[in-house]
């Protein structure tokens, strides 16, 4: 498939994926907010079966919402919230297939890996399935009755999964893979647990038989799990823009800390009026720990100065850039993976290289996240030369 076609597939599918995710997560945020603000007193006189009621105003209108445990009869029109989830997962699956599975071996593993591209794709695909299987098995244990215990065990499993995947995939791919696994869990909850439970209750209503509301409680439980996974998943989906996070030696711990903070922030958003201070403090501490961990990843340019060596010439830098970087970062890339230079960054002239010296220091020298998957085999000695050249002032004179 041509690089131009891949580029357009990436754009169109990513656009659709983001749109679908906005709708799905927006629905989740809205319904959790509704549940946390329902007032029982307003509805008990109208319907003893009502869970609660609230009034809202928006865009010049007024809305009354009443939540019921079950229905006595089916309304003429009942709106379902499922396609937001399905479309998010389907577009996400297409995106990972186009960009990571179809984008070449370097999108998943480093050049030093012994895995073939096909083996890496198989592990990635298998991980999506295994993630939901393990999660669903956990939900069938007594842990499901204790939200805190379930959360702690879930966090340990997620972090352990990230640690294991880091032995196989590149760190950049691991963060996205874990995010895709959590996203698959969320959509599987909707498809296999939430919607079937709702259909069971509706079928009982249609048949005029007593409705078993425990189905609704179990569906709500899975929905709540989805809700608290939303912010960690969003972070993981965006993480490829932040190499300082995924390139850390303990990237699995960074993932766990930021994920924990995301869950805590979501709880505060839902119940800010009655949030225990320890949750807020714990969330801030998790973010603070992640920030502290990742700060040493970026060293000052002066750290690369070596007075015992002659100054680095631009000719030496150009040799490295031509061999390791310019197959992608040129006006007309020679790499089949890109029809245009990634992020619009080119190194065609000395001025281009100097203009991006800080980015080169951060990505190629400090975090070693470029070249992508080290597909061109940049060595540590070459990275040190680039670091010294930048530390010495990035001169381009002969």
DSSP string for residues in 206-267: HHTPPP-THHHHHHHHHHHHHHHHHHHHHHHHHGGG-HHHHTSTTHHHHHHHHHHHHHHHHH
Rounded distance between C-alpha atoms, residue 103 and residue 44, angstroms:
57
Tell whether 52 is covered by a domain: no
* pLDDT value at residue 106: 80
| Mean pLDDT confidence for 130-145 | 96
Tell whether 338 is covered by a domain: yes
Q: Do 266 and 306 fall within a single domain?
A: no
Last residue of a domain, one of 281, 296, 311: 296
Rounded distance between C-alpha atoms, residue 19 and residue 17, angstroms:
5
Q: Do 136 and 271 fall within a single domain?
A: yes
Q: What's the mean per-residue pLDDT of the chain?
A: 90
Q: Do 251 and 369 fall within a single domain?
A: no
pLDDT at 268 over 80: yes
Q: Do 356 and 237 fall within a single domain?
A: no
Last residue of a domain, one of 264, 281, 296: 296
| Mean pLDDT confidence for 106-110 | 85
| Mean pLDDT confidence for 236-248 | 86
Rounded distance between C-alpha atoms, residue 367 and residue 232, angstroms:
23
Q: Do 344 and 261 fall within a single domain?
A: no
Of residues 246 and 175, the one with the higher pLDDT is 175
Last residue of a domain, one of 269, 296, 323: 296
Q: Do 240 and 359 fall within a single domain?
A: no
How confident is the model over 195-239, as pLDDT tens digits? 999 999 999 999 999 999 999 999 999 999 999 999 999 999 999
Q: Do 116 and 244 fall within a single domain?
A: yes
pLDDT at 26 over 90: yes
pLDDT at 297 over 50: no
Q: Do 256 and 141 fall within a single domain?
A: yes
pLDDT at 43 over 60: no
| Mean pLDDT confidence for 281-307 | 76
pLDDT at 256 over 60: yes
* pLDDT value at residue 111: 79
Of residues 26 and 9, the one with the higher pLDDT is 26
Rounded distance between C-alpha atoms, residue 186 and residue 189, angstroms:
5
Q: Say if residues 185 and 243 touch (Cβ distance below 8 Å).
A: no
Tell me what percent of the chain is helix, strand and coil, each rounded to the nearest 5. 70, 5, 30
Q: Do 221 and 107 fall within a single domain?
A: yes
Query: How far apart are the two ends of the chain, measured CA to CA in Å?
Result: 42
Tell whether 61 is covered by a domain: no
* pLDDT value at residue 103: 76
Tell whether 130 is covered by a domain: yes
**Residue ranges making up the domain that contains 266:** 3-37+69-296
Query: In a 3-state reduction of DSSP, which class is residue 242?
Result: coil
How sure is the predictor about 137, in pLDDT bands with cuts at 50, 70 and 90? very high
Of residues 112 and 326, the one with the higher pLDDT is 326
Q: Say if residues 55 and 64 touch (Cβ distance below 8 Å).
A: yes
**Closest alpha carbon to 276 in 264, 289, 287:** 264
pTM of this structure? 0.84
Measured in degrees and rounded to the nearest 5, phi and psi for residue 131 equal -60, -50
| Total residues belonging to the chain | 398
* pLDDT value at residue 339: 76
| Mean pLDDT confidence for 36-42 | 78
* pLDDT value at residue 272: 81
Q: Which helix (H) or strand (E) holds 4?
A: helix 3-37
Q: Do 158 and 129 fall within a single domain?
A: yes
* pLDDT value at residue 38: 87
Q: Which helix (H) or strand (E) holds 61?
A: strand 61-68
Percent of the chain with pLDDT over 90: 65
Beta bridge partners of 58: 61
How sure is the predictor about 2, in pLDDT bands with cuts at 50, 70 and 90? low
Q: Give how far Cα 133 sits from Cα of 79, 137, 155, 185, 345, Å.
A: 29, 6, 16, 9, 42
Q: Say if residues 214 and 221 touch (Cβ distance below 8 Å).
A: no
- Own/partner contacts of 210-219, CB < 8 Å, gap of 24 or more, are 211/70, 211/71, 213/69, 213/70, 216/69, 216/70, 218/193, 219/193, 219/194
How confident is the model over 346-388, as pLDDT tens digits? 999 999 999 999 999 988 988 888 898 888 999 999 999 999 9
How sure is the predictor about 80, in pLDDT bands with cuts at 50, 70 and 90? very high
Q: Say if residues 116 and 380 touch (Cβ distance below 8 Å).
A: no
How confident is the model over 300-358, as pLDDT tens digits? 555 666 667 888 999 999 999 999 999 999 998 888 777 788 888 999 999 999 999 99
Q: Minimum mean pLDDT among 107-116, 117-126, 166-175, 256-265: which range?
A: 107-116
**Closest alpha carbon to 160 in 68, 222, 67, 252:** 252
* pLDDT value at residue 47: 72
How sure is the predictor about 298, in pLDDT bands with cuts at 50, 70 and 90? very low
pLDDT at 68 over 70: yes
pLDDT at 135 over 70: yes
Rounded distance between C-alpha atoms, residue 337 and residue 6, angstroms:
8
Q: Do 191 and 231 fall within a single domain?
A: yes
Q: Do 263 and 380 fall within a single domain?
A: no
Tell whether 44 is covered by a domain: no
How confident is the model over 142-158, as pLDDT tens digits? 999 999 999 999 999 99
| Cβ-based neighbours of 340, under 8 Å, separated by 6 or more | 7, 333
């Amino acid at each position: 498939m041509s690089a131009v076609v891949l580029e357009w597939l990436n754009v169109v599918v990513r656009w659709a994926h983001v749109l679908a995710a906005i709708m799905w997560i927006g629905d989740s945020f809205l319904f959790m907010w509704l549940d946390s603000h329902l007032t029982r007193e307003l509805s008990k006189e109208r319907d003893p079966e009502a869970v609660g009621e609230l009034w809202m105003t928006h865009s010049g209108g007024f809305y009354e919402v009443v939540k019921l445990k079950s229905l006595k009869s089916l309304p003429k029109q009942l709106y379902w919230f499922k396609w937001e989830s399905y479309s998010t997962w389907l577009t996400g699956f297409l995106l990972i297939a186009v960009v990571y599975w179809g984008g070449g071996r370097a999108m998943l593993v480093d050049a030093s890996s012994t895995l073939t591209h096909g083996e890496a794709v198989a592990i990635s695909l298998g991980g999506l399935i295994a993630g939901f299987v393990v999660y669903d098995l956990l939900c069938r244990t007594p842990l499901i009755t204790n939200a805190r215990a379930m959360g702690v065990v879930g966090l340990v499993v997620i972090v352990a999964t990230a640690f294991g995947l880091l032995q196989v995939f590149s760190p950049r791919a691991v963060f996205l893979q874990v995010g895709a696994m959590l996203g698959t869990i969320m959509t599987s909850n909707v498809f296999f647990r939430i919607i079937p439970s709702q259909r069971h209750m509706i079928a009982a209503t249609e048949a005029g038989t007593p409705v078993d509301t425990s189905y609704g409680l179990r569906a709500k439980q899975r929905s709540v799990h989805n809700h608290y996974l939303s912010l960690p998943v969003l972070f993981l989906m965006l993480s490829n823009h932040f190499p300082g996070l995924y390139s850390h030696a303990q990237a699995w711990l960074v993932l766990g800390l930021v994920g924990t903070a995301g869950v805590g922030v979501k709880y505060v958003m839902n119940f800010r009026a009655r949030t225990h201070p320890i949750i807020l403090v714990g969330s801030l501490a998790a973010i603070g720990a992640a920030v502290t961990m990742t700060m040493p990843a970026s060293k000052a340019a002066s750290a690369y100065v070596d007075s015992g060596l002659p100054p680095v010439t631009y000719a030496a830098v150009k040799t490295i850039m031509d061999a390791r970087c310019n197959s992608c970062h040129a006006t007309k890339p020679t790499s089949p993976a890109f029809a245009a230079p990634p992020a619009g960054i080119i190194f065609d002239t000395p001025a281009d290289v100097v203009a991006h010296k800080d980015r080169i220091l951060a990505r190629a020298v400090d975090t070693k996240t470029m070249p992508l998957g080290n597909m061109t085999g940049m060595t540590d000695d070459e990275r040190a030369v680039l670091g010294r050249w930048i530390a010495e002032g990035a001169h381009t004179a002969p």
